[in-house]
Amino acid sequence: MNRQIRTAEDVLSLLDGLFTPEADRWTPRGADWWDRFYADRDRGVPFFVDKPDESLAGHLERGLLTGGRALDLGCGPGRNALHLASHGYEVDAVDLSPAALSWAEDRAADHATPPRFHQGDIFTVDLPHEQYDLIYDSGCLHHLPPHRRISYLALLARRLAPGGHFALTAFATGHGSELSDAEFYRRGRLEGGLAYTADDLRHLFADLEEVEIRPMRAQPAESPLFGVDFLLTGLFRRAR
């Protein structure tokens, strides 16, 4: 017999175990999978380019984001973290994959004020600051199982400073899995990633003020920005 559940985290951990190893990509056990994913830097993966998200660049250009401390969740090879650092942010960037962070550090070698890169789980990693003026997520949320949205919202409540901004990109409908949350548990896998609608994001982040939700704008190959039409972008603000 096993009667170990006594906290909410115990329940979340039990639900983690209902998924196949494919769904472990967001946990510390997923580091090896992501290391293999990032091993070949010349692969034709869209977001391997050294370009920031067009939505993030637009927020900065329009003065919606104005500096301070930034936390980049699931930073990969560091393209958005480096862009934020070049715009005056003090950046902490987190990823599970040592291979991704090694690549990010190579890219940061010539930057005067590079981000600090941290290897670990976004929910438990040790960070130098309690709160951040900007939390940025380019493709992390849609790899989380539904129950871990609870952990994600708790992270935002703990880490996002009053008056701070939260921005993200996530799979849009038609490009990620549109199964119901319940069906993921029946199948025991995440089908490659969860799709979100604008209303899904509004509901999930209802405690934050919506600034903008829109499809990402596709960018031509020669653009200095990254943009693909299968992502949805959002920008939210926490009340002071």
Residue 156 main-chain phi, psi, to 5 deg: -60, -40
Please state, in angstroms and rounded to a whole number, the distance separating the CA atoms of residues 200 and 168: 13
Predicted local distance difference test score (pLDDT) of residue 117: 98
pLDDT digits (tens, 9 = 90+) for 180-215: 999 999 998 888 899 999 999 999 999 999 999 999
Given a cut of 80, whether residue 18 has pLDDT beyond it is yes
Q: What is the pTM for the complete model shown?
A: 0.95
pLDDT digits (tens, 9 = 90+) for 25-42: 667 677 888 889 899 999
Q: Virtual CA dihedral for 22, 23, 27, 29, nearest 10 degrees?
A: -20
Please state, in angstroms and rounded to a whole number, the distance separating the CA atoms of residues 227 and 216: 6
Please state, in angstroms and rounded to a whole number, the distance separating the CA atoms of residues 140 and 74: 6
Banded model confidence at residue 21, pLDDT cuts 50, 70, 90: low
Banded model confidence at residue 24, pLDDT cuts 50, 70, 90: low
Under 8 Å between Cβ of 52 and 93: no
Given a cut of 90, whether residue 235 has pLDDT beyond it is yes
Q: What is the mean pLDDT of residues 117-139?
A: 96
Give Cβ neighbours of residue 4 (< 8 Å, ≥ 6 apart).
10
Given a cut of 90, whether residue 56 has pLDDT beyond it is yes
User: If you average pLDDT over every residue of the chain, what do you get?
Assistant: 93
Q: Virtual CA dihedral for 67, 69, 74, 76, nearest 10 degrees?
A: 70
pLDDT digits (tens, 9 = 90+) for 135-168: 999 999 999 999 999 999 999 999 999 999 999 9
Under 8 Å between Cβ of 178 and 195: yes
Please state, in angstroms and rounded to a whole number, the distance separating the CA atoms of residues 171 and 194: 7
Given a cut of 70, whether residue 23 has pLDDT beyond it is no
Banded model confidence at residue 240, pLDDT cuts 50, 70, 90: confident
**Which residue has better confidence, 124 or 19?**
124
Predicted local distance difference test score (pLDDT) of residue 139: 93
Residue among 77, 66, 189 nearest 133 (CA) = 66
Q: What is the CATH number of domain 8-237?
A: 3.40.50.150
Domains of the chain, by residue range, sit at 8-237
